[in-house]
Structure formats: C-alpha cells, structure tokens
C-alpha cells in the first residue's frame, strides 16, 4: 500500500494560493476526505487488491492429530502422526496417559515393537491445545527378532536411487562442524560439483549401497551423507549394518545416530551415538564407537581383541541400546567391546539418550576434516563405502 498525498486528491482540493478565510473550510474538507480514504483502504476498498483478514480476538483450537501406521517386520509397526494446523507441534505418550507440552515431541515416524497406546495432542502458541487422539497397538515381538531393515535390494538392472521413503541427504560443503572438505551430493543433484551421471550414493545391481567419494578436480571432493531424519526413527533396540570400509588418508566413513530432537535441542544436547567411525591409521587397524552429549564425550577403539583386524574387509558393526545403556560390538552381539552407562556420570555430563524422542540413522563418507586430516597423493579416488544392509532387532 502506497503513501497518501495531495496529488491523489481531486483538482478542486489542490491549491497553492495564499491562505484565505475559506482555507479553513477547505482544510476541513480535505481532512474529511483523507479520513474517508484511509477508512476505505483499511477496510479493503479503494482497489487495494482485496480485503485483509481482521485480527483474531479469540484463540482457535488446534486440529486433533491423526495417527497412522505401516507394517514393519514380524509384527512391528512404524507410527506416523500428523496435524492439519500449520505450525502446530505434536506431543505424545505411549502409555495412554494424557500428553502435555512436556511430553515427548514428535519429529518423525517411529518404530514400535511392543503393545502401546499412542495418545497425541497438537499445540501452537496463542491457540488452544487440540483434543487428544488415541490408538492402541497390540504387538509383542520376542527378543532378538528382526523388526526393520533396508536390504538395499535392486532388480532394475541399473544403479538405483536409495529408497526415498527411508533416506534423505545432507548436502553442501559447510564443513559440518569438522572443517571437512567434501561437497555432499544428493541423488540426482546437478549442483556443481555434483554430477548426476556419477552419483555419490546409489544402490548397485550387486545389492549394495555405494557411498562414493570422488575427486573431480584439484582440491575438489564430492561424497554423500544419507540420513533417515524426518522419515524413520527408533528408540531402543539393537541396530547393525554390514559394511566394507575404504582405507586411505583423509577418508572418514561413519555409521551413526542423532537424536530426533536436534532441531529443537541442537547438537550436542540432542545426543550422538557413533556406532562406527574409521580413519586411516598405523597398524593395527581399528574402528571406534563413541557417544556425545552436553559435557559428555566417550570413545573406545576396537582393535580386533588383539587379533588381526582389517576395516577393508566386510564386518558387521552394531549397537545395543537399552534404557540407560549403550553398547557397541563388531561382527556379533556377543563381541561387545564398549559399554557406556547413564549411572554414575560425573557432574556436568548429561545423558541424552532417553530424552530425545528416538534417533535417526546416518551413513556417510567424509573427506578431510579435523580428525583424519586432508587427503594426500596416496589417497585413492574414487573410494567407496559399501553397505550390505541396515537392520534393527528387538532386545
């Protein structure tokens, strides 16, 4: 809307003559006309392009959330919540109790493998909280049963996109907090230096997920970082992936989790569980499992129990996540090499792994950074991290 000036008035009201006695009356007429124009504009008249919505004088009630589920495996289900009120947050419980804004906040579809009563409520500042929605799920999956997986199957006869209903991507070259050198590229990205003809992440006809680090030009590196954020998450259980790692200076493959609440509680408060990280190092070869939270940093290296270990061979890397405990293993759940516990944490260390509403999965291959350092003339390009499967079991 433009400013009102005397140039917008009728000719008979425009004047530059010395102030006469009648000027007083003319000013009154001008004031009345201006008031009328302002009223017309504020009410949507005067050709201003349509009416404006008057301010709300009473709060509206947020729409009641909807609860839906899709089958996972062996009786487990993936539960999704949604609310039609734009900008509303959803809070839920799993025991049938009435949720409040202090309950678990919903960020992504979540896996359930036990009987639960999901009760959800929508909330938006300035509005009345929604009515609650409730749905019962009757399932009780025994211990150590597969309840979810991505097997990276591909029968298309050509390299295929990783399942877009499970995986999205971090992209760009922001350094990701570690001064990394790579440009992360999504499937199909043509944003330079990404090349859709040579994707950095694809499911091959061999049935493996390929995450490829490339060096398309001097000091230019591309790779991929897949994540299930906003698409799939879980809370407790045993998760593992069978992976073949690349070896080379400056290469940094990882299989890890971040808390669903990262957008509301930024790292490290959201919690980070590193199931497997690897950088090139002197013999013996090794991988590391670690945890991170507010004031909380712990990591233990796996050296193969003193025996020969090569990360370039196929291995299973796993985590057992129970209430108050996170353990890491290699090849078999009986081979636990690191355990971290909530009990007895020193002052200032915060255990975030019960308060983040679950976690999402990340698979990536970084290049360079504070930990591994930069690649050099010995680093092979392209290098790839191969993933046979990601699986979640009850525990």
Residue where a domain terminates, one of 79, 105, 137: 137
Question: What separation in angstroms does the CA of 257 have from each of 236, 302, 358?
Answer: 12, 19, 9
Residue 148: in which H helix or E strand, if any?
A: strand 146-150
Assigned domain for 14 exists: no
Q: How far, in Å, CA of 243 to CA of 211, rounded?
A: 11
Q: Are 333 and 387 in a shared domain?
A: yes
Active-site residue numbers? 272, 277
Same domain, residue pair 249 and 341: yes
Domain CATH code at residue 79 = 2.60.40
Handedness of CA 176, 180, 183, 184 (dihedral sign): negative
Q: Give a yes or no: residue 40 inside a domain.
A: no
SS3 (DSSP) at 149: strand
Domain boundary among 97, 116, 137: 137
Please check whether residue 159 lies inside any domain of the structure: yes
Q: What is the token pair recorded at 150? A: 């991505």
Domain residue limits at 76: 66-137
Question: How far apart, in whole angstroms, are the C-alpha atoms of residue 262 and residue 272?
Answer: 10
Ranges assigned E (strand) in 186-267: 201-203, 209-217, 220-223, 225-227, 237-244, 251-259
Q: Are residues 112 and 244 in the same domain?
A: no
In three-state secondary structure terms, 395 is coil
Residue 43 lies in a domain: no
Q: Are 6 and 14 in contact (CB under 8 A)?
A: yes
Residue 151 maps to a domain: yes
Given 137, 164, 199, the domain boundary residue is 137
Residue count of the chain, please give it.
395
DSSP per residue over 310-356, as a string? -TTSEEEEEEEEETTEEEEEESSTT-EEEEEESTTPPTT----TTSS
- 82 with 207, same domain: the answer is no
pLDDT in tens, the chain (395 residues): 332 333 333 444 333 334 343 443 344 344 444 344 333 434 333 334 444 555 555 789 999 999 999 999 999 999 999 999 999 999 999 999 999 999 999 999 999 999 999 999 999 999 999 999 999 999 889 999 999 999 999 999 999 999 999 999 999 999 999 999 999 999 999 999 999 999 999 999 999 999 999 999 999 999 999 999 999 999 999 999 999 999 999 999 999 999 999 999 999 999 999 999 999 977 789 999 999 999 999 999 999 866 689 999 999 999 999 999 999 999 999 999 999 999 989 999 999 999 999 999 999 999 999 999 999 999 999 999 999 999 999 99
133 and 167 fall within a common domain: no
CATH of the domain at 229: 2.60.120.200
Whether residue 187 sits in one domain with residue 122 = no
Q: Are both 183 and 332 inside the same structural domain?
A: yes
Say if residue 107 is in the same domain as residue 216.
no
CA atoms within 13 A on the CB side of 299: 16
Q: Are 253 and 385 in contact (CB under 8 A)?
A: yes
Q: Both 191 and 94 in a single domain?
A: no
Chain segment 179-237, per-residue pLDDT in tens: 999 999 999 999 999 999 999 999 999 999 999 999 999 999 999 999 999 999 999 99
pLDDT tens track for 234-285 = 999 999 999 999 999 999 999 999 999 999 999 999 999 999 999 997 778 9
Residue 361 included in any domain = yes
**Does residue 288 sit in helix, strand or coil?**
strand
- Looking at the 3D structure of the chain, how many domains does it have? 2
In a domain, 232, yes or no: yes
132 and 208 inside one domain: no
**Domain presence at residue 37:** no
Are 215 and 221 spatial neighbours (Cβ–Cβ below 8 Å)? yes
Looking at the structure, tell me whether residues 78 and 171 fall in a common domain: no
Q: Are residues 125 and 202 in the same domain?
A: no
């Amino acid at each position: 809307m433009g400013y009102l000036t005397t140039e917008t008035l009728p000719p008979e009201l425009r004047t530059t003559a010395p102030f006469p006695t009648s000027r007083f009356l003319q000013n009154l007429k001008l004031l009345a006309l201006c008031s009328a124009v302002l009223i017309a504009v504020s009410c949507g008249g005067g050709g201003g392009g349509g009416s404006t919505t008057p301010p709300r004088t009473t709060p509206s009630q947020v729409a009641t959330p909807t609860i839906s589920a899709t089958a996972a495996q062996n009786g487990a289900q993936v539960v999704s919540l949604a609310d039609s009120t734009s900008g509303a947050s959803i809070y839920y419980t799993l025991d049938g109790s009435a949720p409040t804004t202090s309950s678990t906040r919903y960020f992504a579809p979540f896996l359930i493998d036990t009987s639960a009563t999901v009760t959800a409520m929508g909330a938006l500042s300035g509005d009345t909280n929604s009515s609650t929605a409730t749905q019962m799920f009757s399932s009780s999956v025994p211990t150590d049963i597969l309840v979810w997986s991505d097997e990276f199957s591909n029968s298309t006869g050509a390299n295929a996109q990783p399942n877009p209903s499970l995986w999205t991507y971090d992209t760009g070259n922001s350094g990701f907090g570690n001064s990394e050198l790579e440009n992360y590229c999504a499937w199909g990205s043509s944003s330079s230096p990404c090349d859709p003809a040579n994707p950095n992440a694809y499911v091959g006809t061999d049935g493996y997920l390929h995450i490829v680090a490339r060096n398309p030009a001097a000091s230019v590196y591309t790779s991929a970082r897949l994540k299930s954020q906003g698409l799939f998450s879980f809370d407790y259980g045993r998760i593992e992936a069978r992976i073949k790692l690349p070896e080379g200076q400056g290469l940094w493959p990882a299989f890890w989790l971040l808390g669903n609440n990262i957008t509301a509680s930024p790292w490290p408060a959201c919690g980070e569980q590193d199931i497997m990280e690897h950088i090139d190092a002197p013999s013996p070869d090794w991988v590391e499992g670690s945890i991170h939270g507010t004031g909380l940093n712990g990591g233990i290296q796996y050296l193969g129990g003193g025996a020969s270990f090569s990360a370039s061979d196929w291995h299973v890397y796993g985590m057992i996540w129970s209430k108050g405990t996170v353990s890491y293993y290699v090849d078999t759940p009986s081979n636990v090499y690191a355990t971290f516990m909530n009990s007895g944490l020193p002052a200032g260390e915060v255990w975030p792994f019960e308060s983040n509403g679950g976690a999402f999965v990340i698979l990536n291959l970084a290049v360079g950074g504070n930990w591994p350092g930069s690649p050099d003339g010995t680093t092979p390009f392209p290098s790839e991290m191969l993933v046979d499967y990601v699986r979640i079991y009850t525990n």
